Each structure stands twice: as structure tokens, then as C-alpha cells.
A and B are shown apart, each in its own frame.
Chain A
Amino acid sequence: MKTMELRTHLQVEERTFFKRIDLNLCAVILALNLIGLINLYSATHGVHITDKSNLFWMQIFWLFSGWTIFFLLTFLDYKFFDRFAYVIYASNVGALIAVHFFGKISYGAQRWLDLGFFRYQPSETMKLSLVLVLARILSRRDSSKKMGFTDLLWPGVIVGIPFIITVKQPDLGTAGLMALMATTMVIFSRVKTSILIIFLVLGAIAAPLVWNFGLKDYQKNRVLTFLSPGRDPRGTGYNSIQSKIAVGSGRIFGKGFRKGTQSQLEFLPERHTDFIFSVLSEEHGFVGSIFTLGLFVIIYVMSISIGAQARDPFGSMLVVGAIAYLFWHVFVNMGMVIGILPIVGAPLPLLSYGGSSLLSTMSVLGLLSSVAYRRYLF
């Protein structure tokens, strides 16, 4: 130890595991885990529900698994993913195609592969794989130049394949999130302004075409309902209205733990997965909602500083991907719960019940932690 000190004067070798790991990040994640568990307990223990109470214990299991992955990824040099990005990507696309043939149908869409003990949702991990492969592609180009049309071709193909498969499932929510994350990463690595304008114009032209030919009726309904929830309060507008009632009725301090009538009496659909935030808002009010949102903002802020201190472009791009993943999930989910976005299937990271979502989120955070672990050059 002493010799090292003498040689470098930088005390690098003294940074033990616990000092190098970003404990603040871990603390915030843990705080969100706890909030998530408390909230999930309430959501799964309503007046009638007995068969959902085991979901709470399942989630604890997934949390342990998630933290294991988190630490594994922290210690594993993320260079590994730079090297194997395409392999991971290709196998994930393979799984996505397998869903198409062997998948389980639930809620009218084919999303799951039954692995016996666990229903694996390849589209969930696909978001992660896209972050890896895009980080690899984008980190290897000359970042001083803005991307032209030809530069965008290859990333476009890479994103396009899983995007189209996911749309076909159909899982518009996940596909949309993929697109948002990919776009964020691409724009971050800078695109020519003219191209951005062209895409905006193309998008405006394509929208009515997609509306008429690309969307199924139930998907159109969701959008229409979002635009005016009152048009079918007992049908498609039901979720949106009940969710807004739940959130609003929480007022400043909420109705209290397990006292949310909207969730306990089952007025909220999907309250343990996509609508978990309305349970929280109802029972813990404006204060609880802002506190939870604040923890996410702290994670973003930490992530941004980790990204800015990354030792190499791949690490930075990985962090951008991680931020995009967390940001868009939280924004889309909360936006849907509070009625500013249409209802799409997007889980709230760390709070929604679900193995796939939780493991993906913990992996994203693990990558973040891995970059943080290696931000010091020596």
C-alpha cells in the first residue's frame, strides 16, 4: 500500500470496493425499492384479493435477484458489453421472434415466453439490448461531426427490426418506448438539423396514414379516449377516469396506507402493475408523489454526472441509454396515470410489479453503477 502511495500520490489503490461503488445511488434505489414494496403491499391486499398477496413475496424475490444482477454488472467491466453488444442484440431479437411463434397470449397480445418458473418478456430486455448496441455504434463514430442520412441508416435498421416485431405483437407501448430511447441516444450523439426537420415533416405526413391503416380499433380508441375521456366512461375511458380520480382524491397527504378506496375496492385496473403510481398518489397524496418523483430526479441527476465523468465514449453513451430508459419509462407511466398521455403498457421502474421490468431496471442501474465504478481513470 505504502509503495503505491509513493509511486502515484493518487491513492488509487486505497479505493476499496465500498468506496468505489456509488453508495448514494444504491441508497436512492433502495429507497425507491422500499416505497415500491410498501405500495405494492397495499395494492395487492385489497378487500377481496387473496390470490394477489403472493405477488408481494414474488416481488421481494425479484428484488433480491435484481440486486444480485446489479452487483454483478457493477463488477463486470462494461467493456464486455461493448464487445458482445451484437451477440446480445441478436439473441434478444431471436427471442422476440420466438415469442411470435411460441408466445403466450395475454391481454390480447403475444408478449411472453413461458420459461416454467418465469414468464420471460423479450421485448422488455430488448430495450436493454438496444441501449447496448446503440451505445456501441454511436460511441464508435466521430462525435465531432453531426450525423447525416447515411450515418443513420445502420442505427435505423438496428432499431427498426425489434421495433416492427414489437408493434406486431402488438405492444405499442414497449415499441414506442424503444423508439423514444433510441431517438434520445441518436439525438444525443447529434444529428444534422436538416435531417431532424425532414423526420418531423415525414412524421407529420405519416401520422394520418398510420392512424387509418396502421392502428387497430382498440388502439385508436385509446387515443380518442385520451383526447376526451368522457366519451366512454364505462369502457375505454374507464381506466383513465378512475386513475385520475384516484390520484386527485389523494389530495395533499393522501388517504393513508391501505386506505385508498379506489385501489382497495378495485376501481383501479392493473393497480399493481401499470397503475401502481395512482395507488401511491391516492394513499400518500401530493407529498408522497412529489417525494417519489424527487427520488427519480435524484437518480437522473446522479446519472448525468456519472455520464459526464465516464472514462470512455461507450460508457457515456451507456449512461445516456440508461437515463433515456429510466426517464421515458417514468415520464410515460406517470403521464398516463395522471392523464396527460394516452394509456399504453409502460411499467413504472422499481415500483410496478413484474420480474421482467424489475430485472431490466436493475440491470440498467447496474450498468450505470458499472460506469460509475470505473469513472476514475486509475
Chain B
Amino acid sequence: MNQISNSEEEVKEYQSRFKALYIVVGFASLIIVSRLWFLQIYQGEELREYSEKNRVKETKVLAPRGLILDRDGKVLVDNLPGFDVSITPQYAKKLDETATAVGEIINTPAAKIINDVKKGRRRDGPFRPIRLKDNLSLEEVYRLKLLRWDHPGLNINETVIRHYPLGPNGAQMFGYVGEIAREQIERLNQKYANRITFEQGDIIGQSGLELTWEQKIRGTDGIWYLEVDARGREANADTPRFLGLKPRNAVPGSNLVLTIDKDIQEAAYKAMFRDDVYGNRVGGVVVMKSNGEVLAWVNTPSFDPNEFTTGISNEVWDSLANNKLKPLRDKIIQDHFSPGSTFKPIVAVAALQEKIITPTTLVHAPAFIKFGRRIYHDHTKTGQGYITVLEAIERSSNVFFYRMGISLGIDKIAAYARALGLGEKSHIELPHEVSGLIPSSEWKLRTMGEEWQPGENLSNAIGQGFILTTALQMAIAYNTIALEGKVVKPFIVKKIMNVDNNVDQEFQPVIVRDVSKDPFKGVTVDPKTFQVVKEGMRRVANGNSGTARWWKVPGVEMAGKTGTSQVRSFSSEEIYDKCELHRFELRHHGWFVAYAPAEAPEIVIAVLAEHACHGNTGGAPVARDILMAYTQKYHPEKLKKDVQSRTPAAKSHAPILEENSDE
């Protein structure tokens, strides 16, 4: 009993202490309640936003680039659906296993994948996916999809692949696309002043029309929100509704409708691979309607832009960049050359207009003339005798034009050349155009600090010397002659169609000037002057002594001029040597520029055949094939019935090269 009473006392003793526990419990609860209030009510809204951001993965929906169509609506450049595979370093918890499994499917060593992922992580942080392979085959996609659940961080993405159905044909004009380079990002964002924001991983146009028209073609990428779990895997296929986040659909880029005619483009490309002594030609061809619409734009050799879309390998890139034949370069506007004898019609215009000669003036044109201490040769050993300007153009007499050069002087020649469209950029919608060079005495003094030498009038009058022109400029100048004074602006894009296929912008032909009416820097040219020169050019392709008389389209007359651009000056001993004896890189470039039909010009064709030695054999057959294709498409009624039987025969009429090589 004693113990019990003791206990009772003790228990009572405890009671006051138990009361103290109420205070402890009350105080602790207060702490927790106030903290919960702070988190859930005071910071609740902010933390709710955090939790939303946590689960929301913003994904970019790539806008498909606009299509590029030809003038008839035929597809020149389009898009194909594709898949790529990537790894997000942050979520790839089992990188080694994942790399092994993926590597087996995409045929890449696991060590390389691990290395790439680690490198990407260091460079761009853990959340930027590292692309392992583009353009997966369907089988690869299926096999990779099976891996996805066991390998967090592995993504299979739908992509859009740029596709060039024409392959290498026209690649320099269409351009190619590729991932934006780091140094491009800032520059482009500045250039487009944030109307378009470029980010790493964006695919952008890197050359040609793809580059020039980037802003129109690229469209606007969409934003899509996905619900993801803590490991970055998609939790929900359908778009969840998030606080104030509105998904935005991608807006495809505008379609470009070109002035290009796919049929002519293909014919022109094919023409450069003619089955004759020259085989595959190196160079460029531009075909332009007389209103400035470009029908075909071909450079050879070329490259396949499709290879760039899926990430080009270093070896392929190096072989393209180091190729001596410069397949990446657009030789029509990015290179300029001496026009050679194709310059003679322009000098003829100047001489006639300046009344140095009349259409009937006979000029003595022997095998050579002496001027100062030098001897200036004709390209024939016999000379041409007494000839008029018509014959001089037809036979491409050097001595005739030496005399014109002496009489005109460089500054007069330059004024006419400029008036007709040479020596300035055409501002066609393609990048990196060069302006060519039309020299003058003032120019020489300014840039070289030397007086113009009278002897230089002779070489420049036959298109050698300082004069440089692009193939496109030659087409423009010849077109000016053909139209008797109208200088046109060449253009490739005819219409820009927006997403709804409505015309967003349409480009009309532009006549820059008409030198038969409005003086251009003091130069006006009578239509009659042009008509004389045109007759001379008609004879080049049709006259008995024409330098390009072997290549005709029955029913349609061409008018043009051959030319040779010296890669290197040969000594007087070498000058009559067969050009083909030299090393390929040292051989002359051949020019042939022509318009057709001669009586009512519709198109102009400029052919540059590098290292082809001659303008006639190198360039004229190409132009003839193109004109044939053009006539077949647009004027089939003009072609004589027996055209099919006579076409192959034309080839066998190969000229004797030495005698007719023009200079």
C-alpha cells in the first residue's frame, strides 16, 4: 500500500510537468502551421508556377521550309519527313548502357556516343539534347523506340529534311541548308533585328536562294508543351492545359515560285554533259528570257545538296572545298573572266555609233598589225583581207577590232560597255555576286597609278587585257543588243506564295534603262546601230564563215558570238599551238553567248565552258541543245518535221579546230 501511495504522489507530481508538454506541443505546432502558411498561402502562387514549369517541357515544333517551285509549279525543292535520335545528358542516367544499345542500332561505336554526349554536356549544358544520327531508317526508328522506356534521356524526334529532287542540278542556285554555326547566330539575329530569332540547332539556308530568301522560306517555328516526368520522359501524349501557356502551331515558310523552267533547267544541265569530244563540261550556263526572267541556271561540276541536309561528313566537305573545279562555286556570278571575242559586238556597237565606221566601211584586216613595238596577231595565219564590220563579227577578226580599239580608245569602249550592262552587279537574288571590271584610263590611274598605254586599247578591244565579265553580265549585254537598247534586270523569284497559297509578293520584269532613248552617262545608241551588229551576230551562227555555223536548230535562227578567255598568255611561238596540248588548267575558257530567235529575240543564253579551249566547240553546242529544248517546249511548230533525223547529224559536222579557233 505504501508503494501505491508513493506512486500516487509521484503521479500528481508529474501532472504539472504534463501540462508543460501542452506548451511544447502548442509551440511546435505553431511553427509548422506558420511555415505551411508561408509556403502554401504566401508563396503558394509562385511555387505553383514552379511546379508547372517543372512538368512542362517546351518543345520547338520545326516549321517546314517553304517549297521552291518552277514557273509551271513543278517542285524544285521540297521537304521529306524524317527522324533523328538524340540523348539528353541530364536524364541519361545509364549512359554507358544506353550508348551501347543505341550504338548497336545506328552503327556507331558506344565510345564515340559517350564522348559526344559528354562533350555536348560540357559545351551546352545538361539539357541540350545531343543529336546522334539524322535521317533514321524506319527500322532504326522502331528498334530505338523499343529502347526508350528502359533508357531515360533517349529521344526520337520527328524532323523535316530538305530535299532537292534535282540533285546536283542547280545546286549553286538553290543552295543548301545546314545547322546554324555558333558565329552565325549573333550575326543573323542582328541582321534580322529580332524579327526572326535564331537559336543553336536551327537549320538555316547556307547558300543560294536558301540563303537569300531565308526570311521568307523559313517560316515560324511553333511551340508545343509536353508534360514530362522527373526524368524528362513524356508523361502524356496529349497537350496538357497549363497555366497561361498557349501552344503555338508552326507556320510553314512561304513557297517561292521561280522564273526557272524545270524542263529548260534539266536540258541545260544535260547539255553540259554532251557526248562529244569535250565530254563533261566545266563551267556555267544561264538562260534568260529577254524580259529578265531566268529560265535555267546551271553550274558544273556540281554537288548534291541533299548530302548537306543530313549533315555532311568531313571527307565529303573537304573533297568539295578542295576540288580544283570548284563545284561549290556559282561560276555564273561569283567568278569573272575576260570575255574574249564575245566582247567584240560591244566594241562594234561603239565603233558604229561613234561613226568610226559605217556598216559598209571596208577595213584591212591582215594576219597581224604592228602597233608601237609590238606585233598584234589575228587568230588566223592568213588574215581576213578587206572586211566590213559584219564579216569582222562573223569571222571574229582580231585585227579589225584592234583598229576599232585604236580609234575608239578605252574610255569610249568602257562607256558603251557600261551602258549595255557590263561592269556592274546585276543584283540578282543570289549571294556573293562579283561586279566584273570595265577598265578606263581614270580607273588605271586610280588603282595602279599608271597612265593608260595606247597598246592596251588593242587587247581590251578584243576582250582581253583588264576587262572582266561574269556570264550573267554577258547575257544581259547581249540581251540589250537583242532588244536594241533595253537593259533588263535579271531575276529568279517570280512570286512568293504564303501558307494559304495566296500571292504574297509578285516580281515584275524591270527595264533598268533604254539606251536607245535615254542617254546613259552620255551614251545613246541608235536602234539602227544595234541592227547592224545583230546581223553580224546572226551570221556567226548562220553565215558561211560564221564561227558557230555548225550548230543550228532547224527553224530557229540563233545570233551570238563565240569567245575565248585566256587563262594565261602564251608566247608568240605558242600562240598558234593547239590549245589542247596544254595542261587542262592552262587551257583557254570557251565562251558562247547567243540570243534567239535572231529576228524576234525571246531568250538569251550565256555558256561558259572552262578550259574548253574554244568558244564554238565548247559553248555553242550547249547553247544549241538548250535552244532546241526551248523550241520544243514553247514553239514546237517552228521545228521542221525532219528535226529528229537531222539533230544527230549536226554533231558530225565537227569543225577543224585550229583554223576556226577564235580569239
Listed in ascending order, the chain A residues whose CB lies under 8 Å from chain B are 46-48, 143-144, 188, 190, 234, 242, 244-252, 261-262, 264-267, 281-282, 285-286, 289-290, 293, 297, 300-301, 304-305, 307-308, 310-313, 316, 320, 323, 327, 331, 334-335, 338-340
Judge whether A301 and B22 touch: CB under 8 Å.
yes
Q: Are B230 and A267 in contact (CB under 8 A)?
A: yes
Let me know if A265 and B55 touch, CB within 8 A.
yes
A313 near B48: Cβ-Cβ < 8 Å: no
Q: Give every chain A residue within 8 A of B634 (Cβ-Cβ).
A: none
Cβ of B228 within 8 Å of any chain A Cβ, yes or no, is: yes
B55, A289: Cβ atoms under 8 Å?
A: no
B36 contacts which of A281, A304, A305, A310 (Cβ < 8 Å)?
A: A281
Is residue B81 contacting chain A, with contact meaning CB distance below 8 A? no
17 more CB-based (< 8 A) A-B contacts, given A252-B40, A335-B31, A340-B35: A47-B236, A48-B229, A143-B14, A248-B47, A249-B47, A251-B41, A264-B235, A265-B227, A266-B230, A266-B231, A281-B36, A293-B36, A300-B21, A304-B22, A304-B25, A313-B14, A316-B10
CB neighbours (8 Å) of B43 from chain A are 248
Known contacts A245-B54, A249-B48, A338-B39; A266/B229 CB under 8 A: yes
Which 3 pairs across A and B sit closest by C-beta, in order of nearness?
A248-B47, A249-B51, A251-B44
Complex Cα gap A311–B14 (Å):
11
The interface residues of chain A lying within 8 Å CB-to-CB of B51 are: 245-246, 248-249, 261-262, 267, 282
Query: Smallest CB–CB gap between B90 and chain A, Å?
Result: 8
B659 within 8 Å of A (CB atoms)? no
B48→A286 contact, CB < 8 A: no
CA distance A290 to B19 in the complex (A): 23
Chain B residues whose C-beta falls within 8 Å of the C-beta of A308 in the assembled complex:
11, 14-15, 18-19
- Chain A binding site: helix, strand, loop or mixed by DSSP? helix
Tell me the complex Cα distance, A213–B24, Å.
33
Q: Could you list 13 examples of A-B contacts with CB < 8 Å?
A: A48-B233, A48-B235, A143-B14, A190-B17, A246-B51, A247-B36, A247-B39, A248-B40, A250-B44, A252-B44, A293-B29, A301-B25, A338-B32
Task: Tell me the bound Cα distance from A188 to B16 in angstroms.
Answer: 11
Name B47's closest neighbour in chain A (CB-CB). Answer: A248
B50: nearest chain-A partner, CB-CB: A245
- Known contacts A248-B48, A304-B22: A267-B36 contact under CB 8 Å: no
Inter-chain contact B36/A307, CB cutoff 8 Å: no
User: How many chain B residues have a CB neighbour from A under 8 Å?
Assistant: 46
The CA of A143 and the CA of B10, in the complex, are separated in Å by 7
CB of B499 within 8 Å of the partner chain: no
Q: Is the CB of A265 within 8 A of B230?
A: yes
B47 pairs with A289, CB closer than 8 A: no
Q: If A248-B47, A308-B14, A313-B7 touch, does A261 touch B52 (CB 8 Å cutoff)?
A: yes
Tell me the bound Cα distance from A339 to B235 in angstroms.
28
Given known pairs A48-B235, A265-B227, A308-B18, the reply for A289 and B41 (CB within 8 Å) is no
Alpha-carbon distance between A242 and B52 when the two chains are bound, in angstroms:
12
Q: Which residues on the A side are within 8 Å of B14 (C-beta)?
A: 143, 307-308, 310, 313, 316
CB <8 Å contact, B35 and A338: yes
Residues of A near B52 (CB, < 8 A) are 249, 261
- Give the residue among A242, A304, A327 with the most B Cβ atoms within 10 A: A304
- In the bound complex, do residue B15 and residue A252 qualify as a contact, i.e. CB atoms below 8 Å apart? no
- Nearest chain B CB to A253's CB is how many angstroms away? 10
Contact between chains at A251 and B7 (CB < 8 Å): no
B37 at the interface (CB under 8 A from A): yes
Known: A47-B236, A265-B228, A265-B229. A335 touches B32 (CB 8 A): yes
Task: State the B residues within 8 Å of A (CB).
Answer: 4, 7, 10-11, 13-15, 17-19, 21-22, 24-25, 28-29, 31-33, 35-37, 39-41, 43-48, 50-52, 54-55, 90, 126, 227-231, 233, 235-236
A300 to B18, CA, bound (A): 11
A338 to B17, CA, bound (A): 30
Q: Is the CB of A289 within 8 A of B11?
A: no
> Which A-chain residue is minimally distant from B44 (CB atoms)?
A251
Chain A residues with CB below 8 A from B29, complex form: 293, 297
Instruction: Say how far A106's CB is from chain B's closest CB, in angstroms.
Output: 18
Q: In the complex, what distance in Å separates the CA atom of A285 from the CA atom of B14? A: 38
User: Contact between B44 and A340 (Cβ–Cβ < 8 Å)?
Assistant: no
Give the complex CA separation of A312 and B13 in angstroms.
11
Considering the complex, give the chain B residue whose CB is closest to the CB of A48.
B229
Complex contact A250–B40 (CB within 8 A): yes
Kindly list chain B residues whose C-beta atoms are within 8 Å of the C-beta of A48: 229, 233, 235
Expressed in whole angstroms, the Cα–Cα distance for A218 and B19 within the complex equals: 40
| CB pair B32 A304 closer than 8 Å | no
A47-B32 CB under 8 A given contacts A245-B47, A281-B40: no
User: Are A251 and B233 in touch, CB under 8 angstroms?
Assistant: no
Measured CB to CB, the closest approach of chain A to B57, in angstroms, equals 11
> By the criterion CB–CB under 8 Å, are B18 and A307 in contact?
yes
Which residues from A are CB-within-8-Å of B44? 248-252, 286
**Chain B neighbourhood of A234, CB < 8 A:** 90, 126
Chain B neighbourhood of A316, CB < 8 A: 10-11, 14, 18
- Enumerate chain B residues within 8 angstroms of A311, measured Cβ to Cβ: 7, 11
Complex Cα distance, B29 from A297, in Å, reads 8
A244 touches B236 (CB 8 A): no
B40 near A286: Cβ-Cβ < 8 Å: yes
Contact with A331, one of B13, B18, B32, B50 (Cβ below 8 angstroms): B32
Which residues of chain A are within 8 angstroms of B233 by Cβ–Cβ distance?
A: 48
In the complex, residue of chain B having the shortest beta-carbon distance to the beta carbon of A265:
B229
Bound together, the chains give a CA A50 to CA B54 distance in angstroms of 22
Q: Which residues of chain B are within 8 angstroms of A252 by Cβ–Cβ distance?
A: 40-41, 44
Chain A hits for B227, CB < 8 A: 261, 265
Q: Which of A262, A265, A289 contacts B235 (CB 8 A)?
A: A265
Q: Known: A47-B235, A246-B51. Is A290-B36 also a contact (CB below 8 A)?
A: yes
Closest-CB distance, A314 to chain B (whole angstroms): 9
Name A293's contact: one of B24, B33, B228, B236 (CB within 8 Å). B33
Give the distance in Å from the alpha carbon of A176 to the alpha carbon of B509 in the complex.
87
Residue of B nearest to A238 (CB): B230
What residues of chain A lie closer than 8 Å to B21, measured between beta carbons?
188, 300, 304, 307, 320, 323
B41 pairs with A261, CB closer than 8 A: no
| Residues in B whose Cβ lies below 8 Å from that of A188 | 17, 21
B231 contacts across to A, CB distance below 8 A: 266
Q: What is the bound-complex CA distance between A338 and B42, given in angstroms?
A: 14
Instruction: Give the chain B neighbours of A297 by CB distance below 8 A.
Output: 25, 29
Tell whether, in the assembled complex, residue B55 and residue A261 are in contact, meaning their CB atoms are under 8 Å apart: yes
User: Nearest Cβ in chain A — how far from B93, in angstroms?
Assistant: 12
Q: Contact check: which of A190, A249, A286, A340 meets B37 at CB < 8 Å?
A: A286
| A289 CA / B90 CA spacing, docked (Å) | 33
- A265-B235, A267-B55 known; A313 vs B10 contact (CB < 8 Å): yes
Shortest CB-to-CB span from B58 to chain A, Å, is 16
Chain A neighbourhood of B31, CB < 8 A:
335, 340
The CA of A40 and the CA of B25, in the complex, are separated in Å by: 26
User: Least Cβ distance of B36 to chain A in Å?
Assistant: 5
Question: Complex formed: what's the CA distance from A238 to B51 in Å?
Answer: 13
**A250-B50 Cα distance, complex, nearest whole Å:** 11
- A211 vs B480: C-alpha distance in the bound complex, in angstroms? 91
Query: In this complex, what residue of A is CB-closest to B25?
Result: A300
Q: Nearest Cβ in chain A — how far from B65, in angstroms? A: 35
Residues of B within 8 A of A300 (CB): 21, 25
Considering the chains assembled together, what is the distance between the CA atoms of A250 and B32 in angstroms? Answer: 16
Residues on the A chain within 8 Å of B18, using CB: 304-305, 307-308, 316
Assuming A48-B235, A265-B227, is B54 touching A286 (CB within 8 A)? no
Q: Tell which of A144, A267, A320 has the most Cβ of chain B within 10 Å.
A: A267
Q: Which chain B residue shows the least CB distance to A305?
A: B18
Min CB–CB distance B398 → chain A (angstroms): 79
- Whole-angstrom CA separation of A249 from B235 in the bound complex: 20
> A241's closest neighbor in chain B, by CB?
B50
Closest to A316 in B: B14
Find chain B residues with CB under 8 A from A304 CB. Answer: 18-19, 21-22, 25
Decide if B13 touches A143 in the complex (CB within 8 Å). Answer: yes
Interchain nearest-CB distance for A71 vs B (Å) = 26
The smallest beta-carbon distance between A267 and chain B, in angstroms, is 5
